[in-house]
Chain A
Amino acid sequence: MNVIEIKDLKFSYPGAKTPVLKGVDLEIEKGDFVAIIGNNGCGKSTLCKAMNGLIPHFITGDFEGSVQAAGVETRESDIGTLARKVGYVYQDFENQIVRPTVLDDASYACMNYAMKDYRERGMEALEKCGLSGKEQDYIWQLSGGQTHLLALAGALSLSPEVLILDEPIAQLDPHHADTIYEILKELNEQHGKTIIVIEHHTEYIGNYCKHAVLMKDGKIKWKLPVVEALQRVEELEESDIFPPQVTRAAYRLRTEGRLAEGGKLPSTVEEGRKTFADFIYTGRKENCGEPSPAGEKEETVSCENVSVSYRSVKGEPKQIFSGLDLKLYKGEKIALIGSNGAGKSTLMKLMVGLLKPSDGRVVLKGQSVGDTKPEKLSRYVSLVYQNPEDMFIKDSIEADIAYAMKVRNEEGWQERTEELLRRFRLTELKDRDGRLLSGGQMRRASLAIGVALQPEILLLDEPTANLDIATRKEIMKTLRDMKEITDTVMIATHDMQLVCEWAERIIVLSGGRVLADGTRDEVFGNRDVVEQVGIRPPEIFQMGKALDERAFCYTIDEFVHGFERVK
């Protein structure tokens, strides 16, 4: 039985020249777990909003064709009825939460639809989402992952047959991402819900989904079982979707003629074990990503016995660091990792002087940060926020990039602005407001703003969060280019592929202290650290380890070069 039936759906937003959806036909069976994939702007979100009736009832536009959700023709129904059939969790889920306490938000929709047992329904939804015990908490006490679960619970409380999630794990650390998918799996298997996710992370698609739908230019290209879908490496890469690393490695080996033709490509580590069963580790061919063993290292930042605490709404202040010691040297490429709330952002704010330590001091180029005004410090150190919107304070990105130089009367600021626009490929967009750009453009603009004053130290907070893989690649490229502009770069991130491909030094924060500090091998090779903090090395690293304990392969390249088939 089909729970979603879409026939020849065409839709264009008011005022737009070309339609977003150009004749979509799609059937989704009851009890399926479907991933919708496709590059940015191919109409994924629009399609999903057509399924729950927001289109055309709330967002109007030219609507043609028919959409049936759980047997109801959406066009002839209303949002209230449809909300009880199809639940929706947004990508920016925190804006979806409208009530101050957890239980209140979870049961809010049920109350609005006059369901007498709204409290019980809310409780039940919270329990299914693993939020039992948090009923009376205020929403700002929740972590990012918990907030997402609450948004899910809010949708679930109406007991819809279908749940749609728009990029559920884009902002979460791997541990929270797993939790979300485990819960979705349970809802799918135990409670018979049909789940539809818009997802870029093919590792999760491979592990959890049953079908994948590829969209391209407002049309459905195909709908296939996940195993088959992930085999189509070329087609996926064309749409900026990157199959799991294991699949890509196998694909590379096959095109190089080192893996037998025929048979299917593996999509999980487990399957990879079989495919690569007759491969052996031959050692590392190249030694990239290791720090150059240059003798004297010049110290640029040092934290000496730093303690920081935040005010809390209730009770004692929350201690973030107590007695933190850390030294950064000139020319380093540092990745700062640790779970949500480990203090990564706090450390960065300390370095730019936005936060003052309650004890100890932060020394930057021989000067104590506490005694220097942030305005002065911005010559040496610059911070690019996690949320690029907060970097835009003017009405065009050109003005934003120029601002810091202009107010300081830098010589030749006009030329430099132009050069930065060119370097970050923003010249065409220079008159647009930063907020109205796409995710990748926004991120590039925020980086350009960050380096405008040519700081020696650049701090980036989650530069690849919320980006699709293609945009992510683009940002990584920009990061590599950045070497010419700044000496020292530190990135706080959950993105282990970024860490492995880019960083020379990895600092692991946990519970307000440095748990590990060293090269990739020292960090990922240390099982205690990996388990304690719950960091997850890239899949390809796990694949290498699964085949040979001695293997340290961080990228597909290293894997392909490091393993050889036994004849």
Chain B
Amino acid sequence: MQSIKKKLSENILDKLSMDFLRNQVLKNAYGNDDTFIAKRDPRILLVWYVFFALAPWFVDDLPFLLGCFVLVAVTTVMAKVAPLVLVLFCLGVFSQTGYLFVVSLIFGGNAQTVVPLLVLTLKVASVSLASITVFSGLDPDRLSNGLMWFGCPEKLSFSISYAYRMLPMLMEEFQNVLLSYRLRGNAPEHDTLAGKVRYLIYQIQVIIHSFYPLMLNTAKRSRTTVEALEIKGYRYAAVNKEVKKMKLATLKVTYDDLLFLAVSFLWMAVVIFAGTLV
């Protein structure tokens, strides 16, 4: 029992490490580029997303919402989203509305109080899962190309893909700075409860202090990046319509994309039809 407990706490601590976070972010961005969702044309997915991000807010029909939820849950599974994102999703939904739902059940809420809460929870969950499918299932480059096609400025789409390029580097830098604190700092003992609280405060302090070196190190690195972007004609491309056309020429709607839309459409039609029967 003791050992299981130890293992469990080690496991949880392990999950909180910077290394793990970095790995999850990378996994989320690029680790699932061979799924069915990742291969979809970004424009099609964005259109699909607009429907599932808006429609649930305006409909209170339970079967319809359930249908939405099931569909986006399936697409989320298909997109092989990183576990961390799912954990955050569950936490998020629960903290928004889920806890009310549970509390009202415990305190003898009947169907009349539970149903509106269930509706709200389903709305939030469907919209969140649709977002996760699109933004986490597509790799950042395809996503930014899709956005650009719909007329988003080049700067935004470049920022998205560059942020993902920088993020692993930034996190590695952050990890190294934290390690420096870890090795040279003197963390308080955390065997007792009071010690644990002090330890937590210490950790937060360290994280805050880490931002100074992190920012400076990153600034130092980006000096080269800025020059390189200039040489590589980034500024030149931003004002050239031709370049935009070339970038978007890689986007192609395939048979599978239409199939994806058709299946989604069909499913929702069936759900709505079933809703009228009830």
Are B176 and A385 within 8 A (Cβ)?
Answer: yes
Q: B224 — which chain A residues lie within 8 A by C-beta? A: 90, 92, 95-96
B58 at the interface (CB under 8 A from A): no
Are A100 and B161 within 8 A (Cβ)?
Answer: yes
Given A313-B31, A354-B179, A395-B212: A79 in contact with B217 (beta carbons within 8 A): no
Are A90 and B228 within 8 A (Cβ)?
Answer: yes
Given A95-B228, A395-B212: A116 in contact with B246 (beta carbons within 8 A): yes
Q: How many Å from the CB of A505 to the closest CB on chain B?
A: 25
Are A100 and B30 within 8 A (Cβ)?
Answer: yes
Of all chain A residues, which has the CB nearest B242?
Answer: A114
B5 at the interface (CB under 8 A from A): no
Given A83-B231, A109-B231, A140-B26: A98 in contact with B165 (beta carbons within 8 A): yes
- Number of inter-chain CB pairs below 8 Å: 147
> Which of B61-69, B93-101, B184-192 makes up part of the contact surface?
B184-192
Cα(A390)–Cα(B181), bound, Å: 10
- Measured as residues with beta carbon below 8 angstroms from the partner, the interface class of chain A is 35 or more
Given A118-B246, A390-B177, A393-B210: A98 in contact with B225 (beta carbons within 8 A): yes
Cα(A58)–Cα(B236), bound, Å: 14
Are A95 and B233 within 8 A (Cβ)?
Answer: no
B50-90 interface code vs A (CB 8 A; 1 in, 0 out): 00000000000000000000000000000000000000000
Q: A99 — which chain B residues lie within 8 A by C-beta? A: 141, 161, 165
Are B30 and A313 within 8 A (Cβ)?
Answer: yes
Of all chain A residues, which has the CB nearest B220?
Answer: A435
Q: B165 — which chain A residues lie within 8 A by C-beta? A: 97-100, 139
Q: A391 — which chain B residues lie within 8 A by C-beta? A: 180
Q: How many Å from the CB of A200 to the closest CB on chain B?
A: 19
B183 at the interface (CB under 8 A from A): yes
Of all chain A residues, which has the CB nearest B210?
Answer: A393
Cα(A98)–Cα(B164), bound, Å: 10
Are A95 and B222 within 8 A (Cβ)?
Answer: yes
Cα(A80)–Cα(B235), bound, Å: 9
Q: How many residues of B contact A (CB 8 A)?
A: 54
B273 at the interface (CB under 8 A from A): no
B139-172 interface code vs A (CB 8 A; 1 in, 0 out): 1110000000000000000000110110010000
Given A99-B165, A112-B243, A393-B209: A375 in contact with B233 (beta carbons within 8 A): no
Are B183 and A354 within 8 A (Cβ)?
Answer: yes
Q: How many Å from the CB of A437 to the closest CB on chain B?
A: 12
Contact of B140 among A100, A108, A139, A392 (CB under 8 A): A100
Cα(A407)–Cα(B246), bound, Å: 57
Are A311 and B20 within 8 A (Cβ)?
Answer: yes
Q: How many Å from the CB of A550 to the closest CB on chain B?
A: 46
Are B180 and A111 within 8 A (Cβ)?
Answer: no
Are B180 and A390 within 8 A (Cβ)?
Answer: yes
Binding site for B on A (CB under 8 A): 52, 54, 58-59, 79-80, 83, 88, 90, 92, 95-101, 104, 108-109, 111-114, 116, 118, 138-140, 154, 311-314, 352, 354, 373-375, 378, 382-383, 385, 387, 389-393, 395, 403-404, 407-408, 433, 435, 449, 452-453
15 contacts between A and B (CB under 8 A): A52-B231, A54-B231, A90-B224, A95-B222, A96-B228, A98-B162, A98-B234, A112-B233, A118-B246, A352-B183, A374-B182, A389-B213, A393-B212, A404-B185, A449-B184
Q: Top 10 A-B pairs ranked by shortest CB distance?
A: A112-B233, A112-B237, A390-B176, A404-B184, A95-B224, A109-B232, A96-B228, A407-B186, A114-B242, A311-B23
